[in-house]
Amino acid sequence: MLDYPRSDSPRKDRHAVLDIPSRILFGPHETLENDDEEQRGVTFTTVESVTESLKISSEQLKLWLKGGTKSTDDVFKAFSLDTAAEKGLANPQLQAWIGYMKLFNKKNPKKQTSLVTTLASHFEYDGLAKAIEAAKAVPQTAKLAKRLEFELIQRWLTQEKTPDEVFRLLKLDFRRYDLAGDDSAKMSELIPDESALVNMLIKAKGVASTEKLAQRVQAEQTKSWLQSERMPDDLFTLLRLDKADNDLLANPIYDAWIKYADDFREMYPKISMDPIATIDEHYSIAQVARMIVKATESPKTQKIAYRLNTEQYRDWLKRYHPAEAFMNLELGAAGDKLFRSPLLATWLKYVDFYNRRTKGKVSVTSLLRQRFGDEKLDKILVEATTVPATNKIAL
């Protein structure tokens, strides 16, 4: 076990660490401090609507704000929000405090704070992570919890925290060998959502001021995944590449995934791993072929398309006779319009690829006659000769 230093620094230091503007990655209107409500202007009417049934009246809050006698932290404690982290985000008094915080920040620009800063100062990172996970499971607090999660990751990126540093901040290193039974469930509650981190990195790489930082964090994360033998198959789903549809090869994340897969194969040559096999688990053979055809039409994706096409043919060579490939490409359903299908060229090239790498010689005409019969094939060929784009192929 690595001898990591314990996270036992004073709480005021943790508070200071968090006290960094969270607008850097997403601009001024996507943080909890600057949401839509604040842009419209928060007034005491907002606070009154929430505090009507609470012990602390809106009049008391007005006096505190006007006199400057109570900080946001004092009011946080007055509302007893510092006593239950996991139930804190569902506490109705939290909204009253947020309203007070916004008014306080507006009146005291040099003493501004945020919900994330305050929560972390009272419950530390691990407590805040638990509260966020609990709140995400409740429809009424899920939206707030997700925004908190994003802002928390923003701050870690801004502070240039590596995944290992965040791991220690969440105190996960203290539990490395205590994962049996209920502890494994507790561990999963504490680990930040990797997909959220990935999304943050993607967005950060699109902003000039954070691009290099995002690349550094991504490199650290990739290194961590490689060292832990994280299978490319798992990351394919984590990165949501299984939901990319026909735009998979144009997705910049796909390039990063392919590079990771290459690095993985180089580091672990004994582990069987084939990118095309991973893709085939989520997309049909015809879908992948269509992706490749589409990608070859753009200079930006031609290179990756040609590579995947070659890997696809090599994979087919192990598994499919050209007759089977024809059916997998759904060409049988094209009927009279066979020669209009963009996948016909894919199949014809595969037949050539197959013939050059095997002892047998497959005849395209023979296969088509077996599939359609003489009469229907003749009709297909006649139809193809009437179209300039397919005339040469048919002849």
Give 331-346 as a DSSP string: GGGGGGGGGG-THHHH
Q: How far is CA 355 from CA 276, 289, 313, 350, 366, in A?
A: 22, 20, 12, 8, 14
pLDDT at 180 over 50: no
Residues in the chain: 395
pLDDT band at 25 (very low <50, low <70, confident <90, very high): very low
pLDDT at 357 over 70: yes
The domain limits of the chain are 320-395
Out of 29-43, 62-76, 165-179, which region has the weakest mean confidence (pLDDT)? 29-43
Q: Which residues contact 233 (CB under 8 A, 6 or more apart)?
A: 273, 278, 281
Integer Cα distance of 339 and 333 in angstroms: 12
Q: Which residues contact 216 (CB under 8 A, 6 or more apart)?
A: 160
pLDDT at 229 over 80: yes
- Mean pLDDT over all residues of the chain? 74
pLDDT at 395 over 90: no
In single-letter form, the type of residue at position 26 comes to: F
Out of 14-23, 109-118, 171-180, 220-229, which region has the weakest mean confidence (pLDDT)? 14-23
pLDDT digits (tens, 9 = 90+) for 304-323: 999 999 999 999 999 999 99
**Sign of CA pseudo-dihedral 337, 340, 341, 345:** positive
pLDDT digits (tens, 9 = 90+) for 323-335: 999 999 999 888 8
pLDDT at 179 over 60: no
pTM for this entry: 0.54
pLDDT digits (tens, 9 = 90+) for 251-301: 888 888 999 999 999 999 988 888 999 999 999 999 999 999 999 999 989
What is the pLDDT at residue 314?
95
Burial class (CB in 10 A: 0-12, 13-18, 19+), 98: buried
What is the pLDDT at residue 136?
82
pLDDT at 50 over 50: no
Phi-psi category of 229—alpha, beta or left, where left has phi over 0 and alpha has psi -120 to 50?
left
Q: Which residues contact 255 (CB under 8 A, 6 or more apart)?
A: 304
Q: Whose CA is closest to 97, among 84, 85, 114?
A: 114
pLDDT at 32 over 50: no
Q: What is the mean pLDDT of residues 155-165?
A: 71
Q: How far is CA 327 from CA 111, 201, 323, 347, in A?
A: 68, 41, 7, 10
Integer Cα distance of 302 and 312 in angstroms: 15
The residue written with tokens 């007005």 in the block is 62
What is the pLDDT at residue 265?
92
- 3-state SS, 215-282, equals HHHHHHHHHHHHHCCCCHHHHHHHCCHHHCHHHHHHCHHHHHHHHHHHHHHHHCCCCCCCHHHHHHHH
Percent of the chain residues past pLDDT 90, beyond the cut: 23
pLDDT band at 39 (very low <50, low <70, confident <90, very high): very low
Integer Cα distance of 62 and 47 in angstroms: 10
Query: By the 8 A CB rule, do 248 and 192 touch?
Result: no
pLDDT at 155 over 80: no
Integer Cα distance of 337 and 383 in angstroms: 8
